[in-house]
A and B are shown apart, each in its own frame.
Chain A
Amino acid sequence: MGKYVVSRLLQLVLVFFGVTLLIYLAVYALPGDPIRALGGDRQLPESVVNAMREQFNLNDPVLLQYVKYLGSLFTGDLGTDFNGRPVADLMGQRWPVTIRLALTAWVIQVVVGVGLGVLTALRKGTWLDHTVLFFTVAVISIPVFVLAYTAQIVFGVKLGVVPVSGIDDGWPLSYLLPSIILAIFGLASVARLVRASMLENLRADYVKTAMAKGLSRRRVVYRHVLRNSLIPAVTFLGIDLGYLLGGTVIIEGVFNLPGVGQLLFSSIASQQGPVVVGVATVLVVIFLLANLVVDLLYGVLDPRIRHE
């Protein structure tokens, strides 16, 4: 087990170099001169453009740029954006916002998603099952920004129960509505996965055995069936956490939450290599760690799975 974790962590290091290089190359490969575009319709003087290109090593070949970037990375310097703000500051300020948002959404997915899954599996074929099915499908088919703007108008502007936007009211109030919107989309999948898997397990032989042994239905369902049914949902939720952390651009924009999604989007648009690489690398690392945790959880949930 310990050995397994160490080898997975070592893989992380390799992936780190590969990913940073790939992202660096990708940003570099985008057409157009990002420094030139800073002036918009007004072209900046040649001297200013040159000074900035020099400052951001843009005159060097891409591999040398990458080596220089790694070099300063190991001295703890993540570089700056084009406005001179250190990338470390940018991330230090924005990651907590995104992590709060994503974790809140994720917890909602786990609690509500698994809950609905169990409920619909146990009440298969009833009006409750059909209603949940209908609403999850209906909500998933609405584009996220339509849902977000509508919820914002209804709950923020008309009813005034949550802030319209911003993070002034802190957690949880400011994060509540955006988290729910964000959670809704994964929630349906979780509920469906748990439901299908539960139904399958409820028919399994060990359930009959357990029942025959005289265990309470409650104990059978929650200790045995649910636990065995969670593996597909855990796989999904692990990947989904990564998705929630990286895919919140729209929600962050609509609700004016200064998180990394917005930062990543605008940095790609303005081709700010150091910012993109910094943010994306952290994303990849979180994603990989989440996957590692998922793999370890398999063993906990199902003793038949072992990591040697």
Chain B
Amino acid sequence: MRTWQRLAALAVGAALLTVTACGGGSDDDGSSTGSDGGGEGTGGTFSVGIDEPDSLIPGRAQGAFDEMHALFSGLVRFGDQSEPQMLHAESIESDDNVVWTITIKPGWTFHDGTPVTAQSYADAWNATAYGPNAWANNAQLSNIVGWDELNPAEGTPATDTLSGVQVVDENTLQVTLKAADSQFPYKLGQPGFYPLPAVAFEDFDAFNEAPIGNGPYMMDGTWEHDVQLSVTRYEDYQGPRPNADGITFRIYSDTTTAYTDAIGGAVDIVSVPQEKYKQVASDFPDSYVAFNAIRLDWLGFPLWDPRFQDPRIRQAVSMAIDRDAVNEAIFGGLYTPATSYHGPSAPGGGTEGLCGEFCEFDPDRAKELLAEAGGWEGPMEIWFPGGVGYDQTFEALANQIRQNLGIEEVTTKSQPGFVQFLEALDTQQATGPFRGGWGSLYPSMQSLLWSVFSTNGDGRAGGGSYASPEVDALIAQADAAPSLDEATELYKAAEERIIQDFPIVPLFYAKYVYAHSSNVSNVIIGFDQIELNEVVVN
């Protein structure tokens, strides 16, 4: 359960605006008053339903994006833009995409009054990248020179600082990368790149109970585990001033309960669980928001299995799936059927029809393709982690394949949980199509393409361990591209090249759906999840 929630949270964090403000939300969209401009806050407090964070230390927390954005401010933010907006950074520059100079705005302070300096960033990055700390966001820094020395395969590292991070002066950092990365400014929005105050290093466990950040809100008391955490506005915050005086994050172990609580008005903003997508419009007629996540859901294949070698087999499966029907039946029509390998929420993504006929529903052509590829014998098993919200979807997909592809025996092979499911992919034990998905932590095609389809990607198990030297070369070219536009074109070229091999069956560009009570308005969902600063308490 936890893992699944964490994954969902990751993906939510990786979500971009493109607010398809369903239900009109007459009170939402219209009133963009009271936002930024350093105006008077409108006051009041509101509550947000969350799941128990795994940690509140930015380098360590895998979920907790809303709490993190309340307590900490990074160098850049995204809001409703798909390009990084300077938050604490003054400028982020490089001539060669290898050596980056970052200057920060002076005068910012942590909640204990100490200044946020270049050193605060360097110290935090060193701690996150230090292997023995075993912080989950360690890999976000893996392209910085010196990361390898901090993460040896065996034994303790000889040093505890990243040699590629130099503090030039109080407000200037110089970062040297192992390989050129045109998307580095995007990556700086990830929690692994947030600063930490000196006090954190005295005792991380104690710090975690009441973190002292540099964000728009500061802790009010300590983290009441499994119950709530409260924050109040930090009056010396130098960024855009938030509207509300305070926020209570109420912790739920069951998202359905949070949803019911929101109907009862006991919590103001909640993420809508998938099984409620079909009824959210009637439960919250004017107050729900669905937005395009940077998330692709797909069906992966055991590419190591000889029976799945022929791309026509995979294309046949793709054409046998009526995405619209599944979308209506399971997601209340809120998702978008995929026609490419990347959703539209990052620049260059969502190329209409890139997939061609193979993402169209055509059972006859599907059967033809299957026959051309030599047909199918025996059972086809669909793998997914059971009991964590995927059961219905994958039962439906199995039915579609059975009916439309004429394979008599299509069975679901539900695994006891995520641990066992991932093990089956890692050890290449999976014997049939399986659940795949990727939520990007920053709005660039690089995240999904590199992680899932490159030879060194950290998510390649979910893509059936696809590998192609050509794709690797295209992604590397894009990473080194002199401008963002050129990079985007090269990522698109990589995507086109991958889709020729058709390693996965793209299913949906996922959406994330939030609902809110009448106690609050101006609820905007952006890339950084809920735009907490903008929320107005009525």
Contact = CB atoms under 8 A, between A and B. Distances in A.
Interface stretch (B104-112, B458-466, B468-476): B458-466
B2 A266 contact: yes
Interface in B88-121: none
B438 A48 contact: no
B138 A167 contact: no
Contact of B225 (A93, A152, A269): A93
A37 interface: yes
A299 interface: no
A84 B205 contact: yes
A38 B152 contact: no
Interface string A27-64: 00011111011111111111110111001000000000
Given A41-B437, A51-B131, A167 B417 contact: no
Nearest to B252: A256
B264 A164 contact: yes
B260 A164 contact: yes
A254 B204 CA distance: 33
B139 A42 contact: yes
A119 B257 CA distance: 37
Interface stretch (A11-19, A155-163, A185-193): A155-163
Contact of A55 (B54, B134, B138, B423): B134
B538 interface: no
B511 interface: no
B7 interface: yes
B254 A37 contact: no
A200 B147 CA distance: 78
Nearest to B131: A47
A227 interface: no
Contacts of B54: 83
Nearest to B10: A40
B132 A270 contact: no
A84 to B, nearest CB: 6
Contacts of A247: none
Interface residues of A, number: 52
B2 A269 contact: yes
A40 B3 contact: yes
A254 B257 contact: yes
A262 B250 CA distance: 17
B395 interface: no
Nearest to B142: A45
Contacts of B87: none
B131 A45 contact: yes
Contacts of B7: 40-41
A166 B419 contact: no
A210 B25 CA distance: 76
Contacts of B152: 47
Nearest to B420: A32
A156 B259 CA distance: 13
Contacts of A94: 226
B329 interface: no
Interface of A: 30-34, 36-48, 50-52, 55, 83-85, 89-90, 93-94, 149, 152-153, 156-157, 160, 163-167, 252-256, 258, 262, 265-266, 269-271
28 contacts: A31-B420, A32-B423, A33-B419, A33-B423, A37-B423, A40-B7, A41-B437, A41-B439, A41-B459, A43-B461, A48-B135, A50-B154, A52-B134, A84-B55, A85-B225, A149-B256, A157-B260, A160-B264, A164-B260, A165-B266, A254-B254, A254-B257, A255-B257, A256-B257, A262-B253, A265-B1, A266-B1, A271-B419
